[in-house]
Amino acid sequence: MALADTSTAIGAVSQLLCERLSAAHGDVSVVNVGRPEQSATAGGGSRMNIFLYQVDIDGHLREHDIGSGQPPPIWLVLHYLLTAFDANNESDSAQAHGLLGEGILALREMNYLNPSVAALLDNPEPLKITFDPAEADLLSKLMQSNSDSYRLSMAFQVRPIMIASSEPPSLAPLVQTVGPPGNEGVVVIPSLGPCLNRIEPEKFEAGDIITVSGTGLSNAFQEICFNDQCYPVRGAPAGRLLVQVPSDTTLSAGAYAITAVRETVAGRRMSSNAVLGRLLPTLEVVTHGVLSLDPTPGSSGLTGDLILTGNRLGGPDDAIYVAFYQDGEVVLMLEATGITEQNLITVPVSADDALMPGVYQIILRVNGEQAINSPEIDWL
């Protein structure tokens, strides 16, 4: 699973900074990673040095998770020093100062990085680089070795860095019915103006007719919008609006802000407040291709392709996860890549994830939304 690669994210950030600073300078060997005194004695011409001196927990994202059932990741802030040296190993010269300024400019241009290295590829936000105060007290504490002198440096931080657990998430097939049908929900006090307060069902599939309820609603509302994608209202009973999500909708599975929209006589589009609706993927059939025995000595696991067909299964830009579920737990979860039509997913089970023969339920999640159906497959 790709999230396992995030365990090396700290080193990947240091390597990425080194490569980007070297590329900006035009010399692949001009940047070192380590304590400043190591670069001070390295020789070999003018150079820059980056030193990771502190790692903090990102307080803004401390409890932020990346999906229901997935253990919350650890979010980090990395604190670095950038130091420049001239050809004589000095950091307090015009040549060293110029190189330091060049590095500072390169760091600013790196802000909002979207790296493609494996350890950082699943980071849900771009990496932000900001500069910190580099006071004399801080530099003196970091450079108090007897073999090193005070070095003029620039402090900066990189955040947020995600380190996620590779443990399978706590998933299970969805509960489809609870108690007797026909529960009308909580009665709310009406307020002035159109106000949506409920969508039924909250979770729906492409092709379903959904009902948006609220106050101040009438047949004057012509459209129901899912974010920016709008569909015509099919009916308007008192206090309700009906809309059908087309079976061939281009929307991906996921959560959407749903609003009721009408057009005034003057041509102005006016919308209600938003309620949250969740479009689910529709998983219909699961099969597998030709399975092969894992060649690893002593292994009896099988490898091959798992094939999923259905509707709104996720496209190339969607977050798609497929889990093999057996005996009350997730045995294996894999990240998948969809196609533009969103009707087919092929998930390769490689030798690293070779699966023991048996009957498994297949759980599909697209952009955090889980398919209602969890078909069984005989992995034999």
Decide if pLDDT at 116 tops 70. yes
DSSP-assigned states of every residue in 68-97: TTSPPPEEEEEEEEEEEE-TTS-SSSHHHH
Q: Average pLDDT for residues 84-100, to the nearest whole number? A: 89
Residue 187: which pLDDT band, with cuts at 50, 70 and 90? very low
Residue 69: which pLDDT band, with cuts at 50, 70 and 90? low
What does pTM read for this prediction? 0.57
- Asked if residue 336 belongs to a domain, the reply is yes
- Asked if residue 177 belongs to a domain, the reply is no
Residues 123 and 151 in one domain: yes
Residue 29: which pLDDT band, with cuts at 50, 70 and 90? low
Among candidate residues 142, 272, 300, 293, the one with its CA nearest the CA of residue 216:
272
Residues 118 and 205 in one domain: no
Q: Average pLDDT for residues 293-300, to the nearest whole number? A: 84
Residues 24 and 125 in one domain: yes
Q: pLDDT higher for 170 or 255?
A: 255
Out of 37-46, 219-228, 260-269, 311-320, pick the least confident: 37-46
Omega cis (within 30) before 160? yes
Q: Average pLDDT for residues 155-166, to the nearest whole number? A: 88
- pLDDT digit string, tens, across residues 276-289: 999 999 999 999 99
Residues 71 and 144 in one domain: yes
Residues 270 and 295 in one domain: no
- Asked if residue 159 belongs to a domain, the reply is yes
- Asked if residue 210 belongs to a domain, the reply is yes
Q: How far is CA 54 from CA 7, 16, 79, 210, in A?
A: 17, 18, 5, 52
Decide if pLDDT at 379 tops 50. yes
Residues 19 and 144 in one domain: yes
- pLDDT digit string, tens, across residues 325-343: 999 999 999 999 999 999 9
Percent of the chain residues past pLDDT 90, beyond the cut: 54
Residues 265 and 296 in one domain: no
Residues 273 and 289 in one domain: no
Query: By the 8 A CB rule, do 343 and 262 touch?
Result: no
Question: How far apart, in whole angstroms, are the C-alpha atoms of residue 18 and residue 53?
Answer: 15
Is residue 268 helix, strand or coil? Answer: coil
| pLDDT of 304 | 95
Q: pLDDT higher for 54 or 216?
A: 54
Complete edge-to-edge strand list for the sheet that includes strand 128-132: 31-33, 47-57, 74-85, 153-163, 128-132
Q: Average pLDDT for residues 184-194, to the nearest whole number? A: 49
Residues 238 and 263 in one domain: yes
- Asked if residue 13 belongs to a domain, the reply is yes
- Asked if residue 324 belongs to a domain, the reply is yes
- Asked if residue 181 belongs to a domain, the reply is no
| pLDDT of 175 | 63
Residue 180: which pLDDT band, with cuts at 50, 70 and 90? low
- pLDDT digit string, tens, across residues 141-155: 887 655 556 788 999
Which of 280, 314, 336 is a domain's end point?
280
Pairing of strands 74-85, 153-163: antiparallel
**Summary mean pLDDT of the chain:** 86
Which of 241, 263, 280 is a domain's end point?
280
Residues 217 and 306 in one domain: no
| pLDDT of 4 | 59
Q: Average pLDDT for residues 316-322, to the nearest whole number? A: 94
Decide if pLDDT at 229 tops 70. yes
| pLDDT of 191 | 43
Beta bridge partners of 295: none
Domain residue limits at 365: 282-379
Question: Per the structure, how many domains does the chain have?
Answer: 3
